[in-house]
């Protein structure tokens, strides 16, 4: 009779699960599932750098008498992973705050061209230090209103990716066009490109194409999810397409009136 009771509860449980998955509870169940998935992914992403840091520290401790100069490799690997953790936690925090509606959008009037020149300036050196070149074309005379902090973050995400996914010798081009009250930003690279099947998923949280996962480019799959959120906050659009003959083009457009 124990078996029959168990079977009974099992059937009831399946029935309830089926009902919940089909009924009006579905959106709530889906949101809960997404949240659970998000936490699992976040924990997974945190674990990898932490393991590397732990290994490096343990290794250093096996040679307590060596000088710092002889531990430079281990120290710089550790630092790289710490930086990686920093970006990851900042991005997780940003997404958590955006989900909770805790980020206030503050639009200011900006003199577009000098603003872009200023934000893009350090990227000449960053690209050059990795043997890549950066071109900028700014056809943006005039003023526009947007949230400077957020649009700066958006640009940084797109530029970091363009540089990261472009091999040495490649070129990244940023084109900014202000046409009446519409601002268009295009970030073009000559890099690895994104397979068609991945194009619509790259904006999902934690999504990384297999190609980038395997190439150890050290990303976390959150950048473009944040970029998309920022663009939405400006009631704009962000799209991705192939560059020719190779590479990727991200195009952002929004009104700055
Ligand atoms: P990540 O931190 O992995 O770069 P993103 O959310 O910024 O995360 O990007 C998601 C994925 O989209 C990347 O892992 C990569 O597969 C792909 N991707 C983004 N930008 C580019 C690009 N410029 N060239 C090629 N692939 C890109």
CA distances from 156 to 20, 95, 148, 222 (A): 42, 16, 12, 13
pLDDT at 215 over 80: no
Q: Give the model confidence (pLDDT) of 148-160 as tens digits.
A: 999 999 999 999 9
Pocket test for ligand 1, best of 89, 221, 226 (most atoms within 8 A of CB): 221
Closest CA to 162 of 199, 123, 200, 197: 123
Helix (H, G, I), strand (E, B) or coil at 115: helix
Decide: 170 in ligand 1 pocket, CB within 6 A: no
Distance CA 92, CA 101 (A): 14
Decide: 192 in ligand 1 pocket, CB within 6 A: yes
Whether the predicted interface score ipTM is above 0.95? yes
Please report the pLDDT score of residue 217 as a whole number: 67
Residue 257 CA to ligand 1 centre (angstroms): 30
Long-range contacts formed by 194-197: CB under 8 A, 24+ apart: 194/240, 194/242, 194/248
Residues 99 and 93: beta-carbon distance below 8 Å: no
Please report the pLDDT score of residue 91 as a whole number: 95
Helix (H, G, I), strand (E, B) or coil at 175: strand
Decide: 208 in ligand 1 pocket, CB within 6 A: yes
pTM for the model: 0.86
Pocket test for ligand 1, best of 84, 224, 239 (most atoms within 8 A of CB): 224
The residue contributing the CA closest to ligand 1 atom 11 is: 208
Decide: 173 in ligand 1 pocket, CB within 6 A: no
Burial class (CB in 10 A: 0-12, 13-18, 19+), 38: middle
Judged by average pLDDT, the poorest of 79-83, 106-110, 111-115, 213-217 is 213-217
CA distances from 135 to 128, 140, 170, 174, 188 (A): 11, 15, 11, 6, 10
Judged by average pLDDT, the poorest of 29-33, 91-95, 233-237 is 29-33
Backbone angles phi, psi at 102, to 5 degrees: -100, 10
Decide: 220 in ligand 1 pocket, CB within 6 A: yes
Cβ-proximal residues to 126 (8 Å cutoff; 6+ apart), any chain? 163
Decide: 238 in ligand 1 pocket, CB within 6 A: no
Cα 182 versus chain centre, distance: 25
pLDDT at 212 over 80: no
Q: Give the model confidence (pLDDT) of 131-148 as tens digits.
A: 999 999 999 999 999 999
Residue 161 CA to ligand 1 centre (angstroms): 6
Residues 238 and 203: beta-carbon distance below 8 Å: yes
Residues paired with 253 in a beta bridge: 184, 237
Closest CA to 208 of 195, 46, 130: 195
The residue contributing the CA closest to ligand 1 atom 21 is: 161
């Amino acid at each position: 009779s124990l078996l029959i009771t168990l079977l009974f509860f099992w059937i009831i449980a399946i029935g309830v699960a089926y009902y919940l998955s089909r009924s009006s509870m579905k959106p709530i169940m889906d949101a809960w599932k997404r949240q659970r998935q998000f936490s699992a992914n976040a924990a997974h992403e945190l674990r990898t750098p932490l393991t590397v840091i732990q290994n490096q520290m343990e290794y250093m401790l096996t040679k307590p008498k060596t000088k710092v100069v002889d531990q430079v490799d281990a120290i710089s690997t550790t630092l790289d992973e710490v930086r990686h953790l920093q970006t990851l936690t900042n991005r997780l925090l940003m997404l958590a705050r955006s989900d909770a509606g805790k980020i206030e959008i503050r639009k200011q009037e900006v003199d577009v061209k000098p603003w872009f020149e200023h934000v893009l300036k350090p990227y000449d050196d960053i690209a050059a230090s990795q043997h890549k070149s950066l071109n900028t074309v700014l056809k943006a005379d005039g003023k526009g209103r947007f949230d400077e902090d957020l649009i700066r973050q958006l640009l940084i995400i797109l530029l970091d990716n363009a540089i990261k996914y472009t091999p040495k010798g490649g070129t990244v081009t940023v084109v900014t066009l202000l046409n009446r009250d519409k601002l268009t930003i295009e970030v073009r690279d000559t890099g690895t490109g994104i397979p068609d099947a991945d194009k619509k998923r790259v904006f999902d949280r934690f999504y990384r194409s297999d190609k980038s996962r395997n190439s150890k480019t050290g990303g976390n799959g959150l950048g473009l999810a944040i970029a998309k959120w920022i663009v939405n906050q400006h009631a704009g659009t962000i799209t991705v397409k192939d560059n020719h003959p190779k590479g990727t083009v991200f195009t952002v457009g929004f009104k700055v009136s």
